[in-house]
Amino acid sequence: MGEKEKKVESWLQQLCGDDARLFDVLSSSLYFDPIAALPKEDLGVLIEATEKSVKDDDYEEAIRKYRWVLDKAIFEATQHQEEKDRYIRLIQDLLSKSTQVTEKARGKAEKEGRTNRFGGIGRGPEYCKFVSERIEDFLEVGRHFYDERLKMLGEEERGEARVVGRRERRRKEETEEKREGKRDRKGEKERREKIVEEDREEGRERQREKETGEARRKKILEARK
C-alpha cells in the first residue's frame, strides 16, 4: 500500500473511531477516487441491467452488478444530502434484493452440484444485514470520507495543473529567448532564479493546502465527537 493509500485509510479509521466492524465494512465499500472507479452510467440504467440479469437467471452476474449498483448508490447518497431519505430507501431495497439473489444463486449451485460460494464477486447476506442496520452511520461516515477525498483530489489536480502550466511557460520562454538570441549569461541567471522562486511558491502553496486540509479534518472529527 502506497503512502497516499495509507493516509486515506488513516482518515477512514479516524472517522470510524473504535468501531472496527464499521471500518472493516466501509473499507470494502468506499473508493479512493470514486469518480474514476465507479460506473459512469446513470444509476437507473445500472439497476435496470442488474434486474435483467436476475430475470435471465444469471444470478452470479447479477451479484456482481448489485455490488456496483450499491457502491454507486452509496456514493450518490453521500453527495445528495437533500435526498437522503430517498437514497436510504433505495439502498435498503438494493440490499434486500442483493441478499435474495445471493440465495437464489446458492440454491441454483446446489442443484447443479457445485460448491461455489461466490466469494469475491459480491457482498454476502452478513454485509447486507450490517449495512441495512447501520445505514445512518454508514452514510454519515461515507459522506465525510468522500467529501474530504474529493477535496484532496481537487487539490492534487490543481497542483499538477500548476506544475504543467509552469513547465509550458518555461518552454515557451526558452524558445522565445533562443529565437531572439537572448540566452546570455545574465539572462540565464535570471531564468534560474525565477525557476527557483516559482518552485518555492509551489512549495508554499502545497503547504498551505496541507495545513488547510489538516484543520478541516480536525474540525470534522471534533464535530463527530
pTM reported for the whole predicted model? 0.74
Instruction: Enumerate residues 6+ apart whose C-beta is below 8 A from 206.
Output: 159
Model pLDDT for residues 40-57, shown as the tens digit of each residue? 999 999 999 999 999 999
Q: Is 158 or 23 the better-scoring residue by pLDDT?
A: 23
The three cell numbers locating residue 176? 522565445
Query: Which residue matches cell numbers 431495497?
Result: 93
The three cell numbers locating residue 186? 545574465
Instruction: Enumerate residues 6+ apart whose C-beta is below 8 A from 135.
Output: 88, 91, 92
Q: Domain locations in the chain?
A: 31-133, 149-224
DSSP three-state, residue 116: coil
Band of the pLDDT at 120, cuts 50, 70, 90? very low
Model pLDDT for residues 156-179, shown as the tens digit of each residue? 777 677 766 667 776 766 676 666
